[in-house]
Amino acid sequence: MKTITQEKIWLSSPHMGGTEERYVQEAFDSNWIAPLGPNVNEFENTIARYVGEKTHVAALSSGTAAIHLALELLGVSKGDEVLCQSFTFSASANPILYLGATPVFIDSEKDTWNLSPELLEEAIVDRLSKGKKPKAIVAVHLYGMPYKTNEIARISKAYDIPVVEDSAEALGSSYESTKCGTFGDIGIFSFNGNKIITTSGGGALLSQNAKYKEKAVFLATQARDDAPHYQHSNVGYNYRLSNVLAGIGRGQMEVLDDRVSARRANFDFYYKELSEFDKIQFLLEPRGYFCNRWLTCILTPSFEAREKIRLALLEENIESRPLWKPMHLQPVFSENLNFLDGTSEDLFNRGLCLPSGSNLSSNDLERVVSVIKNEI
């Protein structure tokens, strides 16, 4: 292997806006170094204003924690089944196991790469025929592309099964001008370091039901009862977001629209430079969809073609990544029931995520494209 001399191009790195440090300093100056405080309150308010729809927001320690609490709020418990999108990151499914429930995995459709309404309904009918009504649905806006919200909502309503809307990758995305995070009974965001904005580590739970927000905060702060001493009638968690990290979030929210624009510009550049090649395909926005383009993804003709490009990029110190390996293919879930048509497995085998950070330079983008063109 040749010696690497060029600067590394990351897949998706944090991008500070400049005001984060001021809000963090306010936390230090006021001694609000705790999992509550003015930054937490205002961060929640800012998110609520951004997504609209009279949404209530609880700032938490991670998106995974938000999914865990969402499932618990919806009554998921030991022995239940939860229908979960297979083509996603493991954090969409792991919290189902935290509660002693069992995930049943559903494949994707080709228009958005998200939860297939047809297979979802097939799974529900199957489980009902066996006397096992699913307790919840976990639907994901993968790579920032909204899932088929109308179709999933129709199925949810028809069978009276609530939806946990995993918007970990979709802050800033929308369908018909309605922001992602507001379509499900409960929505979640992630502010992990590689997301479109970050609090280093963090997440949020959203709902138009104020009681869900209130109960989430209660559970996230160790479920302490209203008493002068420490009294607990429920099992709680240490899931509240730090006031220090919420300060980072406040600064990040001020530049969110700029970050979305930058990532969409990355997609436009890649599309302009590579779409002319028959061997490269892109996921385009269906009518009415607005994708934040958290990560720009391409489809190649085969696993071998994908690996050829990935390894060539790696050789040039450029980070790329295969699309998510579906949950039904993961060893930990190998015995779980699933409803499949091969879509997600094909996408995983042929798909590659390209560097997509909002802090990429034009030279960075040109380096990426140059390597890919040399390999196709």
Each residue's pLDDT tens digit, 235-247: 999 999 999 999 9
Give the pTM.
Answer: 0.97
Q: Which helix (H) or strand (E) holds 56?
A: strand 56-60
Distance CA 88, CA 79 (A): 23
Instruction: Name residues whose C-beta falls within 8 Å of residue 135's C-beta, 6 or more positions apart in sequence.
Output: 74, 75, 76, 77, 80, 81, 82, 101, 161
Q: What is the pLDDT of residue 1?
A: 47
**For the segment 119-155, what is each residue's pLDDT rounded down to a tens digit?**
999 999 999 999 999 999 999 999 999 999 999 999 9
User: Looking up tokens 């959203």, which residue turns up?
Assistant: 206
d(CA 95, CA 216): 15
pLDDT at 53: 79
Q: Which residue has the tokens 């951004």?
A: 50
Torsion of CA 306, 311, 316, 317, to 10 degrees: 100
**Helix, strand or coil, per DSSP, at residue 57:** strand
68 backbone φψ class: left, alpha, beta (φ>0; ψ -120 to 50): alpha
How many C-beta atoms lie closer than 10 Å to residue 138's C-beta?
Answer: 26
What average pLDDT does this structure show over 77-82? 98
**Which residue type, as a one-letter code, is found at position 355?**
P
pLDDT at 3 over 60: no
Q: Determine the Cα–Cα distance for residues 197 and 180; give it in Å rounded to an integer.
A: 15
pLDDT tens-digit series, residues 264-308: 999 999 999 999 999 999 999 999 999 999 999 999 999 999 999
Sketch out the chain's domains with CATH numbers. 20-253 (3.40.640.10), 256-375 (3.90.1150.10)
Summary mean pLDDT of the chain: 97
Averaged pLDDT, 336-346: 98
Amino acid at 247: G
d(CA 8, CA 296): 18
pLDDT category at 4 given cuts 50, 70, 90 is low
